[in-house]
Amino acid sequence: MPSVRPPVKNKIRSYSELVERMLRLAAETKGIEARLLGKVRAQPVSYPFWMLSTPPGSGKKRVCLSGGIHGDEPAGVEAILAAVGMIGKEPSLLDSVQFTLFPCLNPFGYEYHTRENRSRIDLNRQYVRKRPPAEVRFVKRAIEGKSFDLDIEFHEDIDTPGFYMYEISQDPRRAVGRKVIQRAAKKYPINLQTEIEGAPADGGLISPDVSSQFFQRRFARKRQWPQAIYFYKNGTPHVITPETPVHLEMRERVEIHLTVLKLALERLLSD
């Protein structure tokens, strides 16, 4: 793959402005620590790649949140910043939860509004590669040896008529999909198709039974595992991928993502 390639489009967002905003917010929020994991080279520039986290502690639930693995899904990135804002408003959350946050997994895609990274690679299919791209390598290294109770990956869908989400929960009592969709449906459209992106869906929820034929077939090819399946297969018992419709306002999409987060945390902390 060529290392120098002209941008596919004009830059429409500034990653450095995003980082500035994120670092300011992190500095203002008690308990949030920002860590530079490395630089993603994307000729002629390179992007600093950041992780945010809150202090560990015994008995705390461990929650991983990430956004922007697909660069043309910016509400996921905004959702992480909104989550930091939420932590700032509810600092007592940190008594019971340890957060690991990846605010923007695809800096080039964020700037140029492309699903893929600079090398036109879909980062959400790279988690089990021997030599994954830097963006994925940084995440894998940062979470090595860690386990999570909950992983939420904030996505968007460019042509869905309404909100939908994927949820895999080993413990059915932890599942929050139905409740999230009920809540979202009060204000926003839900994608009610019975098949979404090739997966069986029910009322906006794609919640495959892991022993089902569909699941086995879809994820038989390890090389194709998306990040969510990688987390699940590596011991995270509850993974959620909310997909907001981009035809809604940014503020509305972020509100839906935050609803997912709040309901999932509420359920996680209820036992």
Which residues of the shown chain bind Zn ion in the complex (CB under 5 A)?
70, 73, 155
Give the CA dihedral 166, 170, 171, 175, nearest 10 degrees: 0
- Residue 154 in tokens: 């904030």
- Residue 263 in tokens: 């309901």
Q: How far is the CB of 248 from Zn ion (least distance, A)?
A: 16
Residue number, 100 or 160, with CB nearest to Zn ion? 160
| Number of other CB atoms surrounding residue 179 within 10 Å | 15
Q: How far is CA 259 from the centre of its chain?
A: 14
Residue number, 125 or 238, with CB nearest to Zn ion? 125
Q: How far is the CB of 159 from Zn ion (least distance, A)?
A: 12
Residue number, 40 or 75, with CB nearest to Zn ion? 75
Q: How far is CA 113 from the centre of its chain?
A: 16
Q: How far is the CB of 71 from Zn ion (least distance, A)?
A: 9
Residue number, 54 or 244, with CB nearest to Zn ion? 244
Give the DSSP per-residue string, 148-182. -SEEEEEEEESS-SSBEEEEEESSGGG--HHHHHH
Q: How far is the CB of 128 from Zn ion (least distance, A)?
A: 18
Q: What residues pair up with 167 in beta bridges, in sequence order?
A: 240
Q: How far is the CB of 244 from Zn ion (least distance, A)?
A: 10
Residue number, 73 or 135, with CB nearest to Zn ion? 73
